[in-house]
Amino acid sequence: MPLVTSKKMFQMAYKNGYAVGAFNVNNMEITQGIIQAIAEEKAPLILQVSRGAREYASNSYLTAIMNVAVKENPDIPIVTHLDHGDNFETCKQFVDDGFTSVMIDASKMPFAENIKVTKDVVKYAHDHGVVVEAELGQLGGIEEDVVGVDDVAKHLTDPNQAVEFVEKTGVDSLAVAVGTSHGAYKFKTEPKLAIDRIQEIQDKLPGFPLVMHGSSSVLREFVDLINKYGGKMPNAMGVPESAITQASKMAVCKVNIDTDLRLALTAKIRQVFAEKAGEFDPRKYLGPGRDAIKAMVKHKLHVLGCAGKAAECL
Ligand code: G3H
Ligand code: 13P
Ligand code: ZN
């Protein structure tokens, strides 16, 4: 029974001080790189599909690829998750298609409307044995010199609102705004994560699993490789891995990583093209790219502390 919801994973992650990696899937090579790393490290896994991935590859291709990964790894607990579902209908569709977890992202809506749509999704999903993640607050960097301290605080998840939101919706996990943001340019100056805000939310919601989006670290080594081989990524900056590890030991039970996989893949493909100008067989650059994804995921599993934890999550 390797296809699971995240319920047991989050219980174990919370109790034992680690986080489960939620990696974004866009095609076969990315999925294979992730699953090879997971199988070798014996870690629990959340495979997730974003709106961009759905538009690029289609739900049916992505679902089929993920189902093969699940089938071939019966000893690994795997969650199939809808990342950033926009509305009730999208979430319903993924519940109906057999995903075990959906995210309803109504964080841009007013608080009351976010509660309403999340509650509707929770009702439908729970009736079908599926778990739900929602989001509260606005993702964004913490830069006191760019926006005032008060503005920063406004965008972070309010701990009291988080309590009310969880109570009123019955949601299973909550994505919180604690200074992270999507993509490769998270900070303009010093990278900063609001660990104190995670602590405040966790104190008010003891035992409740939190989710951190935008958790790529944009490792210098990979940005440098991309730039060395003809890319242009000035000032790319992510969340320091030490902060990710610290959050993983707290109530953060799911950590979303996409950008770091993109960087690993891009750096490797650029290197192949630069070093073998005559190469035109896609397998000769996508293959090394897949290996680069695998190496990156293996590394991340140790940052999150979930390597070796597959068995206890089954
Ligand atoms: O949700 C954030 C992910 O990095 C996905 O982005 O919609 O461009 O695939 P995307
Ligand atoms: P990154 O862009 O930091 O990898 O975040 C991905 C994410 O949060 C997907 O939902
Ligand atoms: Zn996200």
Note down pLDDT in tens along the chain; length 314 residues.
Answer: 589 999 999 999 999 999 999 999 999 999 999 999 999 999 999 999 999 999 999 999 999 999 999 999 999 999 999 999 999 999 999 999 999 999 999 999 999 999 999 999 999 999 999 999 999 998 875 654 444 445 556 689 999 999 999 999 999 999 999 999 999 999 988 898 999 999 999 999 999 999 999 999 999 999 999 999 999 999 999 999 999 999 999 999 999 999 999 999 999 999 999 999 999 999 999 999 999 999 999 999 999 999 999 999 99
Q: What pLDDT is recorded for position 141?
A: 59
- Alpha helices for the chain (secondary structure H): 7-16, 28-41, 51-57, 59-71, 88-96, 111-127, 149-155, 159-169, 195-204, 220-228, 241-248, 259-275, 282-304
- CA–CA distance, 53 with 307 (Å, rounded to integer): 26
- CA–CA distance, 179 with 190 (Å, rounded to integer): 12
Quick one: angle between helices 195-204 and 241-248, nearest 10?
10
Q: What pLDDT is recorded for position 304?
A: 98
pTM of the model: 0.96
Proximal ligand: closest to the CA of 213: 2
Q: What pLDDT is recorded for position 146?
A: 47
CB-based pocket (< 6 A), ligand 1: 24, 50-53, 83-84, 182, 258
| pLDDT tens per residue across span 65-120 | 999 999 999 999 999 999 999 999 999 999 999 999 999 999 999 999 999 999 99
Q: Which of 181, 258, 262 for mutating ligand 1's site (highest number of atoms within 8 Å of CB)?
A: 258
Ligand 1 centroid–CA 181 distance in Å is 11
Q: What pLDDT is recorded for position 1?
A: 58
Q: What pLDDT is recorded for position 151?
A: 57
By the 8 A CB rule, do 190 and 243 touch? no
Q: Which of 83, 257, 265 for mutating ligand 1's site (highest number of atoms within 8 Å of CB)?
A: 83
CA-CA-CA-CA torsion for 91, 92, 98, 104, nearest 10 degrees? 20
Residue 133 burial (CB count, 10 A): 31
Residue 237 exposure: Cα atoms within 13 Å on the Cβ side? 15
Q: What pLDDT is recorded for position 185?
A: 96
Does 196 participate in catalysis according to the annotation?
A: no
Q: What pLDDT is recorded for position 189?
A: 87
Ligand 2 centroid–CA 275 distance in Å is 30
Ligand 3 centroid–CA 257 distance in Å is 8
Q: Is 191 in the pocket of ligand 2 (CB under 6 A)?
A: no
CA-based torsion, 301, 306, 312, 314: positive or negative: negative
Query: Token match 């996989």: residue?
Result: 261
